[in-house]
Structure 1
Amino acid sequence: MRPPRPYPSDLSDARWGLMEPILSAWRAERRGKGLDIGRPPEHDLRRIMDAVLYVDRTGIPWRYLPHDFAPWETVYGYFAAWQKDGVFDQLNGALRRLVREAEGRTPEASACVLDAQSVKTSANVPAASQGIDAGKKIAGRKRHIGVDTLGLLLAVLVTAASTSDHAGGIQVLSQIAKAHPRVTKAWADTGYRTTAIDHGARLGIDVEVVHRDPGQKGFKVIPRRWVVERTFGWLMHHRRLARDYETHPHRSEAMIRLAMIDLMSRRLTRESTPNWKNS
């Protein structure tokens, strides 16, 4: 049953309409295999997604979910299953294509922008999956992403912060080449070295390093690179991503995809919610 006063992160009817076909198809497939999680009683998928979005947007621990949602163990079970079964990938891809079409672009991208972001981790993150970014002096993890020219997510990889940009970039390029064969151009910053450029060439992707003007003083928007920097800014609207709280890197990747799903669904339905930085 829907609560009388929904949370700002809850799905509207319009946003749920964008996600419901994929989530319902997932449940039907699991039923066919005898793997459905909610037996009996069966939990409402919309309310489960509301709870997952609540965690992503507010940054609370799973155990702190408000009691008007399903038990936190159930919600996390769905989140983990959706990550494992590629549901967040499907939603991200479907919504990205809709946003691109709404912007007058072809459904599939032909160019991308690469970058990486180092973030601190919480105390529950295993030391084995962390590292130190010597350049930025951050101990934690690193998010390597590839986005299209609208800043929409194409690929994501979470590693220890000690992983170099170009090493992570090689894996992201491989992801993009496999999932988005139309991509033939990529822009990146100076952290992407010859090995990443050569790897891109083998995949049929021309990787161009965009250099900062050596005489530049103060802040200045750098062509192409600003697109992916803006995406990192979008991700920071979700408190769960202000730091890496996930025990497993693949769960961190899922949280990033979830944030983009939230953003794209709101863009398609022309909805907004207060930014936590301004609250």
Structure 2
Amino acid sequence: MPRQRPYPSDLSDARWELMEPVLSAWRAERRGKGLDIGRPPEHDLRWIMDAVLYIDRTGIPWRYLPHDFAPWETVYGYFAAWQKDGVFEHLNGVLRRLVREAEGRDGEPSACVVDAQSIKTSANVPAAGQGIDAGKKIAGRKRHIGVDTLGLLLAVLVTAASVSDNAGGIQVLSQIAQDHPRVTKAWADTGYRTTAIDHGARLGIDVEVIRRDPGEKGFKVIPRRWVVERTFGRLMHHRRLARDYEALPTRSEAMIRLAMIDLMSRRLTREATLNWRGT
């Protein structure tokens, strides 16, 4: 049943044009492999993406999805399939390249910034997948990300909060080196010590630690590091990321990529990204 009134999270025609080729290609590939045989009639992909973005933006449980969307089981099934098949990673790559080129940059980055964020979890997250960040005094999970100099996502890894920034950073740097071979420079905070720096050197990435002046008090914008901090702030406009609600770390990573897809598509079409008060 089509909705009479759109939600603020719904895709505009311009944003859908950016995503439609990737999603249609995914559907055609699955159909070619015979994976749709015996299934109910196909749902409109734009309608499904609207529902997934609604979940990410509002933070509601899947079972609370409004009835004017497809059944929540169907929407979650598409979300899980897109995560498993790498659709969110592909969309991130396509949109990131478009944003960089629109900003007059080369489509592929040559430098990155890495950081981590500890976040509390909900009751449905298995205890075995959680930990305690002793420094931040947070029990839950940790999001390790790498972004380019525009703050666009290059790599993401979700672990228990007890995993050190250093250990997570090593995996993020490896992922960046594999997917973005032009990257030769990385900036990080003091949580990334000798092993991460040495690992970066082996990958051909010069990891520079940006230190805060110990004599400074209060808030201070730190060169280079502010880029990744801004990205974390923008991600938090999506309430699904205010905590970690996903049972599987891979689904948490998918929610982060989905939020970046939302942000980048709005940036390309010059549509405002409303904050929580605006929605």
Please give the TM-score of this superposition, normalised by the length of structure 1. 0.98
- Equivalent in the alignment of 2:59: 59
Unmatched tracts of structure 1, length 5 or more: none
In structure 2, what is the equivalent of residue 97 of structure 1?
Answer: 97
Supply the distance in 2 between the matched residues of 1:101 and 1:39 (Cα, whole angstroms).
Answer: 40
**8 A contact 1:8–1:273 mirrored in 2:** no
Equivalent position SS for 1:186: strand
- Aligned residue in 2 for 1:253: 253
Change (3 A) 1:134 1:10: same
Q: Residues of 1 paired with 2:251 and 2:229: CA distance?
A: 22
- Residue 36 of structure 1 and its aligned partner are, at CA, apart by 2.8
CA distance in 2, matches of 1:115, 1:274: 25
Letter in 2 for 1:161: A
Runs of 4+ in 1 over 4 A off after TM superposition: none
8 Å CA contact 1:129–1:141 kept in 2: the answer is yes
Letter in 1 for 2:178: K
Partner of residue 87, structure 1: 87
3-state DSSP of counterpart to 2:55: helix
Aligned in 2, Cα 1:38/1:263: closer, same or farther, shift over 3 Å? farther
Count of aligned residue pairs for this structure pair = 279
Work out the CA distance in 2 between the residues paired with 1:26 and 1:11: 19
Residues 35 and 9 (structure 1), Cα distance of their counterparts in 2 relative to 1, 3 Å cut = same
Identity percentage over the alignment?
A: 89
Checking the alignment, whether the CA contact within 8 Å between 1:53 and 1:262 is kept in structure 2 is yes
Assess, with a 3 A threshold, how the Cα gap between structure 1 residues 42 and 278 changes in structure 2: closer, same or farther.
closer
Partner of 1:213: 213
Other-structure match for 1:164: 164
What do the CA deviations read for 1:20-62 (whole angstroms, capped 9, x no partner)? 0000000000000111389331100000000000000000000
Q: Distance in 1 between matches of 2:125 and 2:232?
A: 21
Question: Within the alignment, does 1:70 sit opposite 2:70 as a pair?
Answer: yes
Residue identity opposite 2:254 in structure 1: A
Residue number in structure 1 paired with 2:120: 120
Question: What CA RMSD, in Å, does the superposition of the two structures yield over aligned residues?
Answer: 1.1
How big is each residue's C-alpha offset from its partner over 1:116-135, in whole Å with a ceiling of 9 and x where there is no partner? Answer: 00000000000000000000
Q: 1:37 to 1:44 in 2, by over 3 A?
A: farther
What secondary structure sits across from 1:276 in the alignment?
Answer: coil
Kindly indicate whether residue 188 of structure 2 is the aligned counterpart of residue 225 of structure 1.
Answer: no
Instruction: Please give the alpha-carbon distance, in whole angstroms, between the structure 2 residues aligned to 1:228 and 1:128.
Output: 28
